[in-house]
Amino acid sequence: ARAMAAHADAHAAAAARRALDVTQVVGAALVDDRRRVLVAQRGTGGLAGLWEFPGGKVERGESDLSALVRECREELGVLITPGSFLGEVPLDGVVAGGAPGASTLRVWSGRVTGGELVAHEHSELRWLPADELEALDWIPADRPLLPAVRALLAAR
């Protein structure tokens, strides 16, 4: 019952944010058949050089998962199939110009199911095993998701 209530709370919070028209960000932890996950290094902007799970802003009227599929197509040139929800991290407000925590980064697992992987927007893409994730210089928002990603890779 507690999990159900937490789920309902998260759902209500997500709906409230959408109603306020605050920008949300989605990311994909894409895994392969060798227990590796795709990590991407940002090439431009204030976060240049830092590593992230590929993704981006959800557009007005777009669902989280549609945004996830679109961003992977635009940034990586691949078709993905989203898997399980891995977690949500508050962003610092810079993204939406709103209050701290008003925007969140929501991350799903996923698989590449078509296309050829090309770094259209990142300076580098790497498939890494679980034990090489911690050492990367991550965007702060992405790092709290590493335990969930490691668990995902261990369970495969």
Q: Which residues bind ligand CDP (CB under 6 A)?
A: 25, 27, 47, 52-53, 55-57, 91, 95, 105, 139, 141-142
Measured distance CA(142)–CA(124) in Å, rounded: 17
With respect to ligand CDP, which residue has the nearer C-beta, 7 or 100?
100
With respect to ligand CDP, which residue has the nearer C-beta, 38 or 153?
38
Alpha helices in the chain (DSSP H): 2-19, 64-76, 146-155
Residue 46 Cβ, how far from ligand CDP at the closest point, in Å? 7
| Tokens, residue 98 | 């709103």
Using CB atoms, what's the residue nearest to ligand CDP? 56
Letter for the amino acid at 140?
A: P
With respect to ligand CDP, which residue has the nearer C-beta, 28 or 153?
28
With respect to ligand CDP, which residue has the nearer C-beta, 8 or 101?
101
Residue 156 Cβ, how far from ligand CDP at the closest point, in Å? 21
With respect to ligand CDP, which residue has the nearer C-beta, 149 or 153?
149
Residue 142 Cβ, how far from ligand CDP at the closest point, in Å? 5
- Hey, is 8 helix, strand or coil? helix
Q: Where are the beta strands (DSSP E) in 5-154?
A: 25-30, 36-42, 51-52, 55-57, 78-90, 104-115, 122-129
Letter for the amino acid at 125?
A: L
Residue 13 Cβ, how far from ligand CDP at the closest point, in Å? 18
Residue 25 Cβ, how far from ligand CDP at the closest point, in Å? 4
| Tokens, residue 71 | 């961003």
Measured distance CA(136)–CA(131) in Å, rounded: 11
